[in-house]
Structure 1
Amino acid sequence: MRHYLEFTVDVKPFQAVQLILEDKDIKSTLIFEDYKVTENVEKEISILVFEQFFLRTGNTASLTVTVDNFTGVTIVKCISAGNGDGILDIDWGAGKALLKPVRKKLESNIIEISKET
């Protein structure tokens, strides 16, 4: 089962990523990171991919986080995947468990939550 969370924050993308990666538990599951700045130095994008094994589902789940300010505000998008089990794709809370630490690290900077599934 996929879970999706999108929200805006009051810091620049690279600052948001620094806040996320301050948490050693989150950083320990990081498997990929990429940072780009456009010619116009004020436009930034970061892509982070995390992977974690969940015993309750017997699966390795992933979390992809993109942080950009292409629209003028910093938008954080979090997508968990691969966390479901069986034909019904039941995740036993693993998908939301992946999203929770990222949201918590940025909680004091969140302006608005746009989408949450």
Structure 2
Amino acid sequence: MRRYIEFTLDVKPFQAVQLIMDDKDLKSALIFEDYKVAGEDEKEISILVFEKFFLRTGNTATLTVTVDNFNGVTIVKCISAGNGDGILDIDWGAGKNFFKPVRKKLESHIIEITEET
């Protein structure tokens, strides 16, 4: 089952990534990271991919986090996947639990939560 959350921040993308990476559990689950600066106005984008095994579902789930300021504000998108169990793809809360530490680390900088599933 896929879970998704998107929110706007009051810090730059690379600052947001530094805050996320302060969480030792997330840092240990990191399997991919990429950072780019583009254009004359130095727009930033970061892509982070985390992987974690959830005993409650017996699956390894992934969490993909993108952080960019291409539209003038910093947008964070978190997508968890692979955390469902069985034919009905029930995740028993594992998906939301996976991106909870990201949200908690950035909580004081969140301006708006634009979408959550």
Q: Same fold (TM over 0.5)?
A: yes
Task: Name the TM tier (shorter chain).
Answer: over 0.9
Alignment coverage as a number of residue pairs: 117
Structure 2 match to 1:47: 47
Which runs of no fewer than 5 residues in structure 2 stay unpaired? none
Q: Which amino acid aligns with 1:21?
A: M
Question: Could you say what secondary structure the match of 2:97 adopts?
Answer: helix
Q: Which amino acid aligns with 1:91?
A: D
Q: Which amino acid aligns with 1:28?
A: S
Residue identity (%) = 83
Spell out structure 1 runs of 4+ moving beyond 3 A: none
Q: Deviations over 1:4-37 (max 9, x none)?
A: 0000000000000000001111100000000000
Q: Which amino acid aligns with 1:46?
A: S
TM-score, length basis structure 1: 0.98
Q: How does 1:1-117 map to 2 (within 5 A)?
A: 1-117=1-117
CA RMSD across the alignment: 0.7
Q: Which amino acid aligns with 2:27?
A: K
TM-score, length basis structure 2: 0.98
Q: How far apart, CA to CA, are the structure 2 residues paired with 1:3 and 1:58?
A: 17
Q: Which amino acid aligns with 1:18?
A: Q
Q: Deviations over 1:21-65 (max 9, x none)?
A: 011111000000000000325300000000000011000000000
